[in-house]
């Protein structure tokens, strides 16, 4: 009889006398309630497009009006697919922004992140100091990148991230507090990118995301510096410290080998694999006896299996490439059975990294493992080098003027080129070179051992450590940057909202 509900409404209205009596007003209100109820029933049981056709092309308008009627609301969650309609979310604290995973698209080199949302990232309820101003614009193609490694050190009295003297796993060589460094200003600095803020390091969140996994730091003693920093930063958040331990009971970590700290409550480990060059150091028999060589064409086959199946790997190499034997390059570098009589160190460095890159491309499961490479950490020897009386013990403040910084290391340019040419693996490059160059004040210098006599103290001034870093200290910032990078580019658990 009726061609549509709209026609039915029009016919019924013609049959009702046009008198504004209480009875008519009651009937009119009842009639509206019936029609709205019918709309809601149809809405929940038929596709959006079918409703629109049923009401002669005016279904969309009726739905919009129904949305504003009474206290009931409809949550049209997927605007791109109008057929996907769900019931309203009763938890008003959960918004569409909360449902978004909130993670940025990280630049391909791992140095920048971009976003089309202004305040996405770590859940503000989970991380105290989320990214308040990402330095990114909202929507459209007008994206602005934030380089995490282009910034400055700012004073922060809330630093450090764990109290000096609180972590028993810091090598004595790095424990400046234990060895009586008289000032603590070097602890009160925080790295601040120029165009954004780093999320506050949330150790509990890090451990929760690392649950059931392994993170491995691979490289020389500067990566051991970073590893010990991470061990202490995470341990500080654990209530029962007895549930954090090195799995073999080791207390010293300076020898070449494998070390692993287990966080029992999270079934995860934070490991370190000591391998100075990443490629293989190999003695070679000659007619004049045994000579040490560095195989530029082979990975270190002893250490590589120790980290191959890790979930996160942080590599470094660099400092030992500046030492006398590697710098001279005479009868030291080897490929196959051929020992180069002379090879420039930069050429050797590139060959070794190319071997590393090829091994990573062919042996790492990129669906599981996330790979980082940390750049060269600057030294600050003044008046000599590490073995010729270089000093830094009088330095108590960072460098503030860029004009006093050192040139960007040539080897790091080579490293970036090698990473760019990798075929199968996305490697996130942690370019911490500049941020370390500012910090001439934060090395162990003479505060790396106890001195029993004045003669020992005087000798210590001639033999200082201006390469490594005090802990707590600068490597903590490297781990803050690692955390931020994982939140923005990470896989698996690192793509999820925090559950804390």
Written as six digits, the tokens of 306 are: 């120790």
Print pLDDT tens along the chain (500 aa).
444 444 443 444 444 444 455 555 555 565 556 565 555 544 444 443 444 444 444 443 444 444 433 333 333 333 333 333 333 333 333 333 333 333 233 332 333 333 333 333 333 333 333 333 333 222 233 335 689 999 999 999 999 999 999 999 999 999 999 999 999 999 999 999 999 999 999 999 999 999 999 999 999 999 999 999 999 999 999 999 999 999 999 989 988 899 999 999 999 999 999 999 999 999 898 888 899 999 999 999 999 999 999 999 999 999 889 888 888 999 999 999 999 999 999 999 999 999 999 999 999 999 999 999 999 999 999 976 655 568 999 999 999 999 999 999 999 999 999 999 999 999 999 999 999 999 999 999 999 988 888 788 777 888 899 999 999 999 999 999 999 999 998 999 998 775 44
Active site residue 221: yes
Catalytic residue among 220, 441, 465, 476: 465
Contact yes or no for 471/226 (Cβ under 8 A): no
Place of tokens 């490594």: 468
End-to-end CA distance of the chain: 60
Angle at 221 between CA 418 and CA 174, to 5 degrees: 140
- Which residues are paired to 285 by β-bridges? 290
Contact yes or no for 210/265 (Cβ under 8 A): no
Active site residue 468: yes
What are the Cα distances from residue 308, in Å, to 107, 295, 302?
A: 25, 20, 11
Contacts of 276 (CB under 8 A, 6+ apart): 219, 220, 256, 317, 320
Catalytic residue among 319, 378, 443, 468: 468
Contacts of 259 (CB under 8 A, 6+ apart): 227, 246, 248, 250, 253, 271, 272, 274
Pairing of strands 268-274, 279-286: unpaired
Contact yes or no for 42/51 (Cβ under 8 A): yes
Catalytic residue among 221, 229, 375, 377: 221
Angle at 277 between CA 274 and CA 283, to 5 degrees: 95
For residue 378, the number of C-alpha atoms closer than 13 Å in the C-beta half-sphere is: 24
Active site residue 465: yes
Neighbour count for residue 249 (Cβ, 10 Å) = 6
Element (H, E) at 7: helix 5-15
Domain ranges, ordered by start, for the chain: 5-68, 146-495
Contact yes or no for 308/265 (Cβ under 8 A): no
- 283-307 b/e with 16+ CB inside 10 Å = b? eeeeeeeeeebbbbbbbbeebbebb
Spell out where 243-381 has E strands.
244-246, 258-263, 268-274, 279-286, 289-299, 312-315, 333-335, 338-339, 370-374
């Amino acid at each position: 009889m009726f061609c549509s509900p709209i026609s039915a409404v029009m016919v019924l209205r013609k049959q009702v006398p046009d008198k504004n009596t209480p009875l008519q007003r009651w009937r009119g209100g009842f009639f509206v309630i019936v029609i709205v109820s019918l709309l809601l029933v149809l809405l929940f049981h038929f596709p959006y497009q079918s409703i629109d056709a049923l009401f002669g092309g005016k279904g969309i308008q009726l739905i919009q009006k129904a949305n504003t009627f009474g206290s009931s609301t409809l949550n049209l969650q997927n605007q791109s697919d109008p057929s996907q309609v769900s019931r309203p979310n009763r938890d008003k604290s959960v918004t569409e922004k909360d449902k978004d995973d909130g993670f940025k698209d990280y630049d391909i080199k791992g140095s920048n992140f971009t976003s089309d949302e202004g305040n996405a990232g770590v859940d503000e309820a989970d991380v105290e100091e989320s990214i308040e101003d990402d330095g990114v614009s909202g929507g459209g193609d007008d994206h602005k990148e934030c380089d995490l490694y282009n910034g400055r050190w700012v004073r922060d009295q809330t630093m450090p991230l764990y109290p000096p003297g609180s972590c028993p796993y810091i090598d004595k060589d790095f424990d400046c507090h234990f060895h009586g460094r008289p000032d603590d200003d070097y602890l009160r600095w925080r790295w601040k990118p120029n165009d954004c803020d780093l999320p506050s390091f949330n150790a509990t969140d890090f451990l929760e995301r690392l649950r059931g996994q392994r993170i491995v730091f691979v490289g020389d003693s500067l990566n051991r510096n970073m590893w010990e920093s991470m061990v202490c930063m995470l341990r500080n958040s654990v209530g029962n410290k007895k549930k954090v331990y090195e799995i073999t009971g080791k207390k010293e970590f300076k020898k070449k080998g494998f070390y692993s700290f287990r966080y029992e409550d999270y079934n995860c480990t934070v490991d370190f694999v000591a391998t100075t060059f990443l490629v293989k150091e190999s003695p070679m028999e000659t007619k004049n006896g045994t000579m040490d060589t560095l195989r530029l064409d082979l990975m270190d086959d002893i250490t590589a299996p120790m980290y191959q199946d890790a979930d996160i790997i942080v590599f470094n190499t660099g400092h030992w490439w500046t030492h006398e034997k590697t710098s001279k390059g005479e009868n030291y570098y080897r490929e196959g059975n051929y020992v180069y009589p002379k090879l420039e160190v930069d050429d050797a460095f590139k060959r070794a990294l190319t071997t590393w890159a090829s091994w990573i491309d062919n042996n790492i499961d990129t669906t599981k493992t996330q790979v980082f490479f940390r750049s060269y950490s600057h030294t600050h020897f003044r008046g000599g080098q590490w073995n010729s009386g270089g000093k830094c013990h009088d330095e108590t403040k960072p460098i503030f003027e860029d004009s006093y910084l050192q040139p960007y290391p040539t080897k790091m340019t080579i490293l970036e080129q090698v990473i760019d040419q990798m075929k199968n693996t996305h490697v996130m490059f942690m370019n911490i070179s500049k941020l370390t160059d500012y910090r001439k004040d934060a090395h162990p210098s003479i505060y790396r051992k106890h001195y029993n006599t004045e003669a020992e103290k005087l000798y210590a001034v001639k033999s200082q450590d201006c390469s490594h870093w005090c802990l707590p200290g600068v490597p903590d910032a490297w781990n803050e940057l690692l955390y931020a990078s994982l939140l923005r580019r990470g896989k698996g658990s690192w793509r999820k909202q925090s559950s804390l």
